[in-house]
Amino acid sequence: MRLGQTSVIYLVSKLVASLLGFLATIYFTRTLGEEIYGFYALTLALVSWLGIVKSVGFGQAIVKRMSEDEEPDAYLAAGATIKAVLTGLVAVGIVLFREQVNGYVGQPVAEFVVLLLVVSIFSELVNVALKGSHRVHVYAPLSTLKEGARSVAMIALVVLGWELSGMLVGHAIGTAVIAVIGLWIVRPTIAIPRWRHVTRLFDFAKFAWLGNMRKKTFSDMDIIVLGVFVPAGLTGIYAVAYTLAKFLDIFGSAIQTTLFPELSKRSVSGDTDMIRTLTNDALTYAGLFLIPGIAGAAILGDRLMRIYGEGFEIGAEILTILLVGILAYTYNKQLLNTLNALDRPDLAFRANAAFIVANLVLNVALVYSIGWLGAAIATASSAAVGLGFGYYYARQHVQFRIPTGEIARQCLAALVMAGTVYGTRTIAEPHWIADYNELFVVLLVTLGAGVYFSTLLVISSRFRTTVTNNLPFDVPFVPN
């Protein structure tokens, strides 16, 4: 299967999953309000951070060793054993300090944190098994089913009156059910790991663990800090803005997830030319959705946020700043993906360390001094720092070229889109259609997407070629 087609499968699956999550979030925020959603976001952020302790980088290490196609089941068994032991230790700690956990979140959620933690390790193990066995095209649709299962279970329990408890239990149920299906697909052979399997995992994980912390820092550090300094309601609005912004990172994540097993295999065979080509391709298309997303958020951010309920429009500025940060973070992910695939997690470790320190210091300083806007600024600034370090280290081993021409064309297409959408909004806003916010937003977003991709098809021959090569039929604008 072509890598581009695999990326498309991943992308479409994630788009559907995000749509399901988007609709479910609207239901929760409108039904329960921003405060309860804030408690939910804080709980998941806490689970995510506690999950770093039980992972310690072994997830990416398992993918790396399994993707090398040498004793994959033994490496999976070794990783599963390590993760189970570490998760047990963390779960005991949560029970012992449940009063502190409940006090931080503001609700009695300690038992739910343990439940979600245990379910998360099971799900994560299944995910890495799918990725490591080159089944990204299977992993992606399962992620969609997982989001759907979560949404259905959460909504059903909220309808029954469980509120926050229903959201947390439903989240766990949906995750567990799809993980069982994924395990059935993988069907790993029972293998008894040897010490050398543990050692090789540790050799990679001792550096890769900071990569996991980088992900958690970017996605959850601001939420964790906001939980200390601002009310749960504002935290809920911020979490919604972040979720909406992260939606546009789907394509960048599709590229990263799809390319890692291939880059890893090429690194083992010493195919440096293909590694350089794949890295260039990743940088070319990582911002394909995010660049127009930034322009769109600047114009429509208030109306986009208002879909979640009255009062959410105050998060429009947060949304735009977060998108800028996610763009920088996405480019950085592609570079660190290449370093990890080259079995140089030590260099990725250094870049991740710079990002994490910057993110932590800036979040605490800026949230304390200027409030929740500081969290968004800290996220964007630290992402830029991480990108600088990632570029420096990646260039030492892969002679890739920054695709400035393609990125410039994407920016130009985004500007054309922005002008069209802004003009249309200005003209239409005084009329009756603007009173129906959801319909108005859908129409403007659809218009913007059409203008952006049509413009890009006209001005970028490389984009036209890429689209043609990954479609199952011929299109008239590219000669055979």
The sign of the dihedral angle between the CA atoms of 384, 387, 392, 393 is: positive
Residues whose CB falls within 8 Å of the CB of residue 437, separated by 6 or more in sequence, listed in order: 303, 306, 307
pLDDT for residue 211 = 61
Place of tokens 């939606």: 247
Two structure tokens written together for 188: 């790993």
Q: Largest Cα–Cα distance in the chain?
A: 71
Domains in the chain: boundaries: 3-402
Specify the DSSP element, H or E, that contains 473. Answer: none
Q: Pseudo-torsion of CA 12, 14, 15, 18, nearest 10°? A: 160
What is the DSSP annotation of 412-479? Answer: HHHHHHHHHHHHHHHHHTTSGGGGSHHHHHHHHHHHHHHHHHHHHHHH-HHHHHHHHHTSSS--TTS-
pLDDT for residue 48 = 85
Q: How many CA atoms lie within 13 A of 150 on its CB side?
A: 27
Where helices occur in 187-231 by DSSP H, the ranges are 195-216, 222-229
Q: For the chain (length 480 residues), average pLDDT per consecutive 10?
A: 55 74 90 93 90 63 70 77 85 93 94 93 82 66 83 93 94 92 80 76 67 71 90 92 86 76 73 82 90 96 93 94 95 88 80 90 94 94 94 88 93 97 96 93 96 95 80 50
Residues whose CB falls within 8 Å of the CB of residue 474, separated by 6 or more in sequence, listed in order: 468, 480
- Least Cα distance to 245 among 181, 319, 344, 179 occurs for 319
Two structure tokens written together for 431: 């009329």
DSSP state of 189: P
CB 226 within 8 A of CB 45: no
The helix/strand/coil state of 368 is helix
pLDDT for residue 73 = 75
Listed in order, strand segments (DSSP E) in 53-114 are: none
Two structure tokens written together for 379: 């996220």
Where helices occur in 342-403 by DSSP H, the ranges are 345-370, 372-395
Residues whose CB falls within 8 Å of the CB of residue 74, separated by 6 or more in sequence, listed in order: 191, 192, 193, 194, 197
pLDDT for residue 51 = 77
How far, in Å, CA of 245 to CA of 328, rounded?
13
pLDDT for residue 254 = 76
